[in-house]
Copies of this chain bind each other. A is one copy, B any other.
Amino acid sequence: MPAIGVLGGMGPHAGLDLCRKIFDETDATRDQDHVSVAMLSYSDRIPDRAPFLLDQGGESPVDALVAIALSLEAAGASVIGMPCNTAHAPRIFDAMCEQVKGRGSSINFLHIVDETIAHIREVHPEIQTVGVLSTTATRNLRLYAERLETSGLNAVSPDDEVQEEIVNRSIYDPPHGIKAQANPISEIARQSLQTAISHLRDRGAEAVILGCTELPLVVTESRIEETVIIDPTRVLARALLRETHPERMKPLRVNGRETV
């Protein structure tokens, strides 16, 4: 049986969150019903993605990601999910895929942004305008925005002040940022992100994508008031099951109801 590979560590709790969602989306009543998952959480080997992408002198994470992807394949993984949206910027993701292929690997990488947009179009076809909460790097590179627009959707993001002072700080900055204190989550981070979601709603967002894998650690609702909340980590978990063990996947639940 092929295993699912989780290229984790960005951050470590986001890697666990993807594993947990793979298990939670599996129809299982005993250990042996669960699928095989290999997770490598090599946080201390992977340079931060944001300073590299923003040309702030950061080291490239690509070599580290390639080495870890090949280790996942050696451990039996046939497909890899990478729970870090920022690392899906082409300068990282495309370079990694190319190098891994060049090393003779046939492993299949799923793309968290593409899977998330396909999910929105399939499950919420009525939605036209989508807000995205993310790192500043993901926002400025228009990682979600460009692909949303290509799919015929409108993309909205926070203004500069909300982006820097609320969203990015909630992700990174000690002592309250999620990467500094993931368990338990600080109440300040939780309230800040609620404010950012309201801000996107005011800008016209009918749905908000939690476009950084630290964010679903804090925002766990599937709807806040009339706004649909999209969790790319859960979308990726289901996509990994679809690729490997579709017969073991639970039916998709939307607003507490199963869909076909």
Contacts and interface: CB of A to CB of B under 8 A. Distances in A.
Given A1-B45, A3-B42, A12 B16 contact: no
A13 B9 contact: no
Contact of A38 (B3, B12, B39): B39
Interface residues of A, number: 44
B3 A13 contact: no
A67 B11 CA distance: 28
Contact of A183 (B24, B46, B48): B24
A250 to B, nearest CB: 12
A13 B37 CA distance: 12
A210 to B, nearest CB: 18
Contact of A41 (B39, B48, B74, B180): B39
Interface stretch (A25-33, A124-132, A229-237): A25-33
A153 interface: no
Residue in A31, A44, A74, A175 with the greatest tally of chain B CB atoms within 10 Å: A31
Contacts of A31: 9-12, 43, 46, 48, 179
Taking the full assembly, how many copies of this chain does it contain?
2
Given A3-B42, A45-B1, A76-B71, A12 B34 contact: yes
A186 interface: no
Contacts of A74: 71, 74-75
Interface string A60-79: 00000000000100111000
A16 to B, nearest CB: 5
Given A12-B37, A36-B41, A74-B75, 12 more contacts: A12-B31, A16-B23, A32-B46, A32-B48, A33-B44, A34-B41, A34-B43, A37-B39, A38-B39, A38-B42, A42-B76, A74-B74
Interface of A: 1, 3, 9-13, 16, 19-20, 23-24, 28-48, 71, 74-76, 172, 174-175, 179-180, 182-183
25 contacts: A3-B42, A10-B31, A11-B34, A12-B31, A12-B37, A16-B19, A16-B20, A20-B183, A24-B183, A29-B175, A29-B179, A30-B172, A31-B43, A32-B43, A33-B44, A34-B41, A34-B44, A36-B41, A36-B42, A36-B44, A37-B42, A38-B42, A39-B40, A39-B41, A74-B74
